[in-house]
Amino acid sequence: MKFKVVIPARLGSTRLPRKVLRDIAGKPLVRHVWEAARASGAEQVVIATDDETVAKAARDFGAEVRLTEATHQSGTDRVNEVARAEGWERDCVVVNLQGDEPLMPPALIREAARLLDEDSAADIATFCHPLHSAEDWLNPNVVKLVKDRRGYALYFSRAPIPWKRDPASATDLAAHMPPELAYRHIGLYAYRVGSLSQFSELPPGDLEQCEALEQLRALSHGFRIRVGVTQNPPPRGVDTEEDLAAVAAILSRR
Q: Which residue numbers in the chain have pLDDT < 50?
A: none
Q: What is the CATH number of domain 3-233?
A: 3.90.550.10
Q: Where are the domains of the chain?
A: 3-233
191 contacts 123 by C-beta, under 8 angstroms: yes
CA distance 109 to 189: 9
**CA–CA dist 57, 45 (Å, integer):** 15
If you ran DSSP here, which 8-state letter would residue 234 be given?
P
pTM value > 0.85: yes
Distance, CA of 62 to CA of 34 (rounded, Å): 10
- Collapsing DSSP to helix, strand or coil, 16 comes out as coil
pLDDT at 31: 97
Burial of residue 173, with CB atoms counted within 10 A of its CB: 0-12 exposed, 13-18 middle, 19 or more buried: middle
Query: 160 near 106, Cβ under 8 Å?
Result: no
Q: Which residues contact 236 (CB under 8 A, 6 or more apart)?
A: 103, 243, 246, 247
Residue 169: the pLDDT is 73
- Model pLDDT, residue 17: 84
How far is Cα 195 from Cα 180, in angstroms, rounded to an integer? 31
**Beta carbons of 158 and 171 less than 8 angstroms apart:** no
Beta carbons of 177 and 134 less than 8 angstroms apart:
yes
Q: Report the distance separating Cα 132 and Cα 23, nearest Å.
A: 33
